[in-house]
């Protein structure tokens, strides 16, 4: 029975391996802060990885597929890949935000201190604000418009055309914001002085 034959088996095996590494290194005192940060980073990789996949791979590929008169068209991506990727994308965004908020509290920074950019929390606070804007974009702009584009909800041709513009601009905005957001999140833990 190979755990790599299923996504669930692969994920569970990854967690088991991580636990074995912790135990093997004698880190039995792994604290809640470390676990929350680890879950925050893990869910962030899912979220931002899918954001980059959409912007760097899927959107250009669908555009090329639409222009390929003899090819299969974008139907397979839009019917089978996009809905599943968007599911992981939007819940990855929620998991990233929630675990980030929990980590701020456990680390002693505090959610309020971060969001009010208090001394010692300004860098991570800016990152938290950027992540919050990105979460908003996922749930309020990208997902409702993707449902129209993918035919999950009924929409006219004009509504679909408008939805494509809104979803693309919100997704590109998130890609833009992800760069300084990642710098702020990593910068806080690596001694950026502000």
Mean pLDDT of 79-86: 92
What does the alpha-carbon distance between residue 133 and residue 180 come to, in Å, rounded to a whole number?
13
Angle between helices 82-106 and 122-136 (to 10 degrees): 150
Given a cut of 90, whether residue 27 has pLDDT beyond it is no
pTM above 0.85, yes or no: yes
What does the alpha-carbon distance between residue 131 and residue 99 come to, in Å, rounded to a whole number?
12
For residue range 100-123, list pLDDT tens digits in order. Answer: 999 999 889 999 999 999 988 999
Same domain, 18 and 35: no
Same domain, 49 and 16: no
Given a cut of 80, whether residue 56 has pLDDT beyond it is yes
Same domain, 38 and 121: yes
Which three-class secondary structure string do you get for 61-126?
Answer: HHHHHHHCCCCCCCHHHHHHHHHHHHHHHHHHHHHHHHHHHHHHHHCCCCHHHHHCCCCCCHHHHH
Instruction: Give the residue numbers spanning the domain of 102.
Output: 31-189
Total count of domains within the chain = 2
Q: Supply the mean pLDDT for the chain.
A: 90
Record the tokens describing residue 141, joined without a space: 């702009």
Do residues 138 and 90 lie in contact, with contact meaning Cβ atoms separated by under 8 Å?
A: yes
Same domain, 179 and 135: yes
Same domain, 53 and 2: no
Dihedral, 172, 101, 87, 139 alpha carbons, nearest 10: -50
Please, which pLDDT band fits residue 193 given cuts at 50, 70 and 90? low
Same domain, 165 and 112: yes
Same domain, 135 and 42: yes
Same domain, 23 and 103: no
What does the alpha-carbon distance between residue 32 and residue 44 come to, in Å, rounded to a whole number?
18
Given a cut of 90, whether residue 65 has pLDDT beyond it is no
What does the alpha-carbon distance between residue 74 and residue 66 come to, in Å, rounded to a whole number?
6
90 within some domain:
yes
Q: What are phi and psi of 25, to 5 degrees?
A: -90, 0
Instruction: Tell me how far the alpha carbon of residue 6 is from its chain's centroid.
Output: 22
Q: Which residue has the higher pLDDT, 187 or 55?
A: 55
């Amino acid at each position: 029975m190979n755990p790599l034959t299923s996504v669930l088996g692969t994920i569970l095996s990854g967690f088991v391996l991580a636990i074995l590494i912790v135990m093997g290194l004698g880190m039995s005192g792994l604290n809640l802060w470390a676990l929350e940060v680890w879950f925050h980073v893990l869910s962030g990789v899912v979220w931002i990885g899918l954001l980059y996949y959409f912007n760097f791979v899927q959107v250009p590929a669908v555009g090329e597929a639409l222009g390929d008169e003899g090819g299969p068209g974008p139907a397979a991506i839009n019917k089978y890949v996009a809905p599943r990727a968007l599911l992981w994308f939007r819940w990855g965004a929620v998991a990233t935000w929630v675990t980030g908020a929990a980590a701020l509290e456990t680390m002693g920074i505090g959610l309020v201190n971060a969001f009010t950019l208090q001394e010692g929390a300004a860098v991570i606070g800016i990152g938290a604000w950027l992540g919050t804007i990105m979460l908003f974009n996922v749930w309020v702009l990208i997902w409702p418009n993707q449902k129209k584009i993918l035919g999950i909800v009924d929409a006219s041709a004009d509504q679909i055309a408008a939805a494509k513009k809104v979803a693309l601009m919100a997704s590109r905005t998130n890609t833009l914001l992800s760069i300084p957001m990642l710098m702020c999140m990593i910068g806080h833990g690596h001694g950026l002085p502000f």
